[in-house]
A and B are shown apart, each in its own frame.
Chain A
Amino acid sequence: MFDLLIVAATLVCALQAIRSPRLLMSALWLASASALTALLMYLLGAPEVAVIELSVGAGLVTVLFVFAINIAGEELPDLRALVPKPLAWLVAIGAMALGAWMAMPGLRTPAPALQQPPFAVVLWEQRTVDVLLQVVLIIGGVLGVLGLLGPGGAQAGKEKRS
């Protein structure tokens, strides 16, 4: 019962994040969706990742959103999109449901009881390449942001304007 409530709440938060007309409210709904996702992950048995998701997804990304929205400013309410809304919802949910339906046999098989080493060991020893990849990504992201928002980027913006 408890689980059903959490899942329902997650979906409601995500829905509101998409539908909300004000960007700031969207960001806050997104934060609560992240928190609930973290809770679900903890319930599934991955507490470390749940904590990371809570701090990064619900904390860091939300702060970033608030900054960006403040700098970029609010816009007029959303105009009509190219794709009609009912069609969009139908296709999106339908595609994902189809994929899940194809994966359903996987849900029915009982989980084997494997003993795995703790999370830290798995991460650093078995998935070292992933960690390297993350480092590369972070460096790339920093370079990207520097290029966009750093002194060079602002210069380019000013040149374009004048």
Chain B
Amino acid sequence: MTLSLPALVAVAVVGLLGIGLAGLLVTRNLIKVVVGMQVMVKGGMLAMVLAGHLCGQVQTGAALALTVIVADTIVSVVALAFAVQVRRRFGTLDLQALSTLRR
């Protein structure tokens, strides 16, 4: 098993993405959903910078990662505002209770 930095970061990327996805699969709380998504995005960001490092174009990778940071921050801001409103209106943050599709 190689201990070079790129290999380790690759492991970190896979780990973060997997943990984030597992979080999305397991949680029923709306704010925990945002946490899971954030973890996934950290993995994605790392992947971009890693790809840039491997291709010798670190700065391009970093520019892409910056876009991802901005986008993900905006998403979490809006999602948290949404969660606050949901809590006010419906009194719960439980996904299953909130789902109103006929079953």
Contact = CB atoms under 8 A, between A and B. Distances in A.
Query: In their complex, do chains A and B touch, with some C-beta pair under 8 Å?
Result: yes
A73 to B, nearest CB: 7
Contacts, number: 254
B41 to A, nearest CB: 9
Contacts of B21: 92, 95-96
Interface residues on A, range: 35 or more
Q: Is the interface of A mostly helix, strand, loop or mixed?
A: helix
Interface residues of B, number: 75
Contacts of B87: 71-73
Given A49-B49, A64-B77, A73-B87, A130 B62 contact: no
Contacts of A15: 19
Nearest to B6: A107
Given A95-B21, A116-B58, 16 more contacts: A10-B12, A23-B29, A49-B65, A49-B69, A53-B65, A57-B38, A81-B27, A96-B18, A96-B21, A116-B56, A127-B64, A134-B66, A134-B70, A137-B70, A144-B81, A149-B81
15 contacts: A3-B8, A18-B36, A26-B32, A41-B49, A46-B53, A46-B59, A78-B29, A79-B28, A89-B18, A107-B54, A112-B55, A123-B62, A141-B75, A145-B81, A160-B89
